[in-house]
Amino acid sequence: MLPSTRTTCRAAITLIVAAAGCATSGVRFPWPAHAPAVPATRADVTTANPSYRRTSSQVLVRRVSRPTRASLDYAAYHANFMNADPPPDPATAGDKGRRPHTANPFGGMLVADSLTGSVARTALSADERTHPLALAPLVELLLSKKVASADHLEDVVARIRSESWGLADGPQIVRQTATEAFLHNPGPGRAVEIWIKIEFAPWFAGFLSPPDEDGDGFAEIYGRVADSAFGPTQDIAEFVRTEYEGRILLPAEVKAWAHQLASYWYPSYNTDLVAAPAAWPAENTEPAIRQELGGLSFSAPTVVMRGKPLGKPVYNVFLVEGAAESPAPAPIPHASEATPAAEGEATRQIPAPGLGLGPSTPSPTTAAVKNAILAELAAHGESWTSWTAEVSAFRAALKQRFDAMPTGSKALAGSDGFLFFRNSIAYVLGGDLARQSGDRNPIPVIVEWKKLLAKHGVDFLFVPIPTKEEIFPDKTGVAPGDAALAPFAGKVVNPFERKFLLDLADQGVETLDLLPAFLAERKSGARPSEPLYQGQDTHWTARGLELAAKIVAERIRSFSWYKGIAAHRHLYKTKKESFTRHGDLHSRLPEAERAKFVPETMVGHQVVNADGTLYEDDPDSPIVILGDSFTGVYELMDCEHSGVSAHIAKQIGYPVDLLMSYGGGPNVREKLLRRGEDKLGTKKLVIWMMTARDLFDHADGWQPLEKK
């Protein structure tokens, strides 16, 4: 098996000594500084746990008094222990003994004479200093909204990040990052200026005694973006004024922001949203977190996000006040925007109380998947060893690329604009899933869960979602149309995924096998402009999730108890909604590769009720979907209400109950069990749908029920 692929996002803070090999001899700090401490502030954001230290804390609580997108992004990104690049490997970095060159910093992107180690020495007014903007999410939003000059701002951020000061190993080692921006109005008739805050990595010793004016453990400088590096700034300034800082978000928009943040951070930080209790920390919050808070308690937190980047839990908690009033329900969509329900769908739109489904005996059907996979195995030499040997050339090529990935990199650039996730590659190469030891083996836990549901008369389906590498193996190479990889398109490149389904079938667990349908759909060549997976993201597209929804719904309709639901079927329509953004893998690329990719525009199909309101999952539904981020994308973020649960509901004519955990597919059962085991008896079917990559070496392991 491959070695563990757990993340190390905080290594830059906690393992500074590890990077001593890349320390330079140091030069005197070349820009003016201001000795007295000047704490970083934003007018509508405060840190609610006074003991918070960026370099050592495990919990950050931020209070937002005016919930704009600008304030929420700042609350999440400013001086957050989560946002730190790992130090370079001391065995490969060659900065030691070298002196940085400062003659032309940042390639002229910033005005040299404006550079200073003190915000007090900038041209910013006192009010402008209290409205810093978190750069990473701002640039992403500007690009997605296609605001003029957004690409120039992205270039400035990239150039700052890649500044190597003439030291060894060049821009592949990130020594500093542009973290925040300020807008400055220099006066009537003059264009708005953009000032940038740049933070140095704590391990970088290129400058002697660099200023850390705000006292957070990260030295910083400020500088004005040069006119020559930028186009007109008025569109950016107007967007920030009216939309980014000017508009108060609705509660639903705050919720969507939190879901998108958790999804975006997951590949690096294993983040997930925790149900917000009446007061936090809750009784089940880890003792180390409670101890750090020193008895502090926060009433009605809006967002509680848990991460586990280095094997121990960390929390980001947001206390959001003053959200805007929700608007009236949307009008019924125009006929040209709506897709009629399939022929035969009923028109009832209000959930019928008391479906009267009655008790039933679970009826798993394992023969179809078992027989299909045994037939596949027979066609490949009757053994997993011989089948694996048939795809050895692909696996060798993929492993070579995997082994060459830079330390800390989570994304691999393939061909034709495809990016691939390190953890997904590790899964494809991981071997026999049933041979994983201890809590890394998913099979005993899945079987145990099936038995618990059967005890309560509940049917169960396990639905592993294929990875992008399994559907597009030919895109994992560097060159388009790689002759060595092209023969593997449409083939099973991970035979042990097939063995895993067979192993579950032998244990009486019914699975829905999506892989053959996905491979056939790709081979069909239909809708070539919309692949089954997003190019720059870990997740599927609307096309992929709708195909999965169709397969799941077909099985639901075959259960004997479904006729009781069919008698109360709803009319659902769909309407198109587009969104544009970089995927969650773009920022995980090495810096030099990011500029090759522009934001993707994608389309979702929102599910709409007959009265024109958007579909919502129903916790009282007899059908439960337990899922990871694959069930959250399109449903809880981006275009929303167009995810796999919404499309399953449309296909069966009845709402479903979605319980979702970002990156927590193996243990999402906890969210259902927290309702009480007795509540399982009110359900007819539990569908456990999660990405197949987490079947291999999951960071949290697969926890058996008795330990919950």
- For 376-406, what is each residue's pLDDT tens digit? 999 999 999 999 999 999 999 999 999 999 8
> Lowest mean pLDDT: which of 331-340, 591-600, 634-643?
331-340
Domain hosting 131: range is: 24-41+85-244
Nearest one of 199, 207, 205, 208 to 96, comparing CA atoms: 205
Please give the Cα distance from 690 to 627 (Å, whole number).
5
* Amino acid in the structure at residue 253: E
Q: Which of 185, 216, 244 is the last residue of a domain?
A: 244
- 340: pLDDT strictly greater than 80: no
State mean pLDDT over 222-239: 91
Inside any domain, residue 443: yes
Where residue 170 falls among pLDDT bands split at 50, 70, 90?
A: low
Q: What is the pLDDT of residues 491-531, one digit of tens each?
A: 999 999 999 999 999 999 999 999 999 999 999 987 888 89
Residue with tokens 């098996």: 1
Nearest one of 490, 465, 485 to 475, comparing CA atoms: 485
Please give the Cα distance from 111 to 105 (Å, whole number).
9
Residues 193 and 61 in one domain: no
Where residue 690 falls among pLDDT bands split at 50, 70, 90?
A: very high
Cβ-Cβ contacts under 8 Å for 108 (sequence gap 6 or more): 226, 228, 229
Residues 212 and 257 in one domain: no
When mean pLDDT is compared over 260-269, 521-530, 630-639, the highest value belongs to 630-639
Inside any domain, residue 552: yes
Inside any domain, residue 13: no
DSSP 147-214: -TTHHHHHHHHHHHHT--TT-TTGGGS--EEEEEEEEE--STTSPPEEEEEEEE-TT--SEES---TT
Please give the Cα distance from 90 to 219 (Å, whole number).
21
Environment class of 202 (CB within 10 Å of its CB; exposed 0-12, middle 13-18, buried 19+): buried
Q: What is the pTM of this model?
A: 0.80
Residues 522 and 426 in one domain: yes
Q: What percent of the chain has pLDDT over 70?
A: 90
What residues pair up with 208 in beta bridges, in sequence order? 28
Nearest one of 271, 326, 325 to 303, comparing CA atoms: 271
pLDDT of residue 379: 97
Residues 290 and 398 in one domain: no
Inside any domain, residue 413: yes
Inside any domain, residue 362: no
Residues 68 and 164 in one domain: no
Average pLDDT, the chain: 88
Helix (H) or strand (E) holding 393: helix 392-403
Residues 418 and 269 in one domain: no
- 334: pLDDT strictly greater than 50: no
- 358: pLDDT strictly greater than 80: yes
Look up residue 511 and give its DSSP letter: B
Three-state SS string across 266-305, please? HHHHCCEEECCCCEECCCCCCHHHHHHHCCCCEECCCEEE
Cβ-Cβ contacts under 8 Å for 563 (sequence gap 6 or more): none
Distances (CA, A) of 298 to 46, 249, 430, 630: 14, 22, 43, 31
Residues 510 and 627 in one domain: yes
Alpha helices in 525-588 (DSSP H): 542-556, 562-566
Residues 230 and 270 in one domain: no
Residues 516 and 579 in one domain: yes
Residues 406 and 439 in one domain: yes
Q: Provide the 10 A C-beta neighbour count for residue 384.
A: 17
Name the token pair of 29.
């700090």
Residues 121 and 157 in one domain: yes
- 224: pLDDT strictly greater than 90: yes
